[in-house]
Structure 1
Amino acid sequence: MQVMMFLSGSLHVGEEWKGYTIKKECKIEKQKRIERIKEKRAQLQELLLQQIAFKNLVQRNQQNEQQNRGPPASNSTIQLPFLIVNTSKRTVIDCSISSDKFEYLFNFDNAFEIHDDSEVLKRMGMSFGLEEGKCSAEDLRTAKSLVPKALEGYITGLHSTTRELVDPNGCENPGLCLDTEVALATGQFLAPSSQQSSSATSRYSESRGETPCSFNDEEEEDEDEDDPSSPE
């Protein structure tokens, strides 16, 4: 585009101005890097939650072994890692196993859910509810003790951010609350003392919520059909 400039009392038309284009390209590049940082922080957050859950599980098992004076029976334990498949009882499942038993192929004729060990441990409370913003002050101190010293700030920031997401009105000064998307990218989170620290957020668990109501509804319908006393 042509740019008009006023120099020495006369009006001149200069060459095409490249500043706007360069600025636009910088903004695009900045946005790409922000998105990449967000992805990296999400991965780090998930790894930290897994580490906290696994270490908390180990401590709990050690306490149980001390109380019971020995390890539990082999038929009452589940080895890590594992997967839980959830589907309707009407679903027909075809399972194929490779000869070396390292690969499993499942075919379902209905909707299903797959939950890994990390997700199950979170639902058991092994991560102290950090991903849901339900972590108490005592549990927060315990969680920070289960990660390296250099990463404790991420746990504090994660706790503050998830708590604000669950209860947006909990922020004492809404004007100081940072936008979540920007905070995830830049690592600027407001702790309860208004101090900023780094954190991350989980995307992996967002796609796996509670058991679909449709599964439970189908099972309830089946029970009603099987019950001879139910009205027709």
Structure 2
Amino acid sequence: MTSRSLGSPLPPFKQTFLQTLLQSKILTFGAFTLKSGRESPYFFNAGLFNTGRLLTSLGTAYANTIHTSTSLPPFDVIFGPAYKGIPLATIALAKLYELAPERYADVGYAFDRKEVKDHGEGGRMVGMGLEGKRVLVVDDVITAGTAIRGAVSAIEEAGGTVVGIVVALDRMERIGGVGADERKGSAIMEVKKDMGVEVLAILNLDELIVGVTDEGDRRRMLEYRGKYGAVE
């Protein structure tokens, strides 16, 4: 069996995170038919971050991505869109506090409900109030951009301003699919352009290609990138 261990110039925290993805089979290789109809040589299953160890690894990777960024502006709240974004926002903020308590001690977190609560405290939002706050959104992926736009609208309705978005993986591929019109840009590119905010990913496809040492996997990802890759 050919090794898929790392031997790359990726930053150490990205190397560690990628190794976790491979060992836990959150990132797997083969032939996978996506919702778009495209056949992908790799598959990222964020639903498998389902243990304390793996969720902590993910939170650490988010925290390092955010903390080391030179392009994200200051923020007051980390927001996780329901439902998958809720644990992501909470673990990311907890790990940020561990990294730099003096910097993140007063940063809050919030999330939305799928359905507005009409009893108790009521409302759609839970956590720190967003009125007048700068908000960083944390989610797993941006596929078509529809869900993230909904989250941004909800934040703005609550009086907050989205200043950045951080996701786990950027597939770096064009919007569209088999039997559908394709656009040149990726969902992340379009979100950045339309909303005017920075969008970061812990890892992107180019970094997977650099970080994975199995030559067959690397070649197939390069071919996929060449066929479906987004263009600026």
Larger Rg: 1
TM range (shorter): under 0.3
Q: Which has the higher strand share?
A: 2
Q: Which has the higher helix share?
A: 1
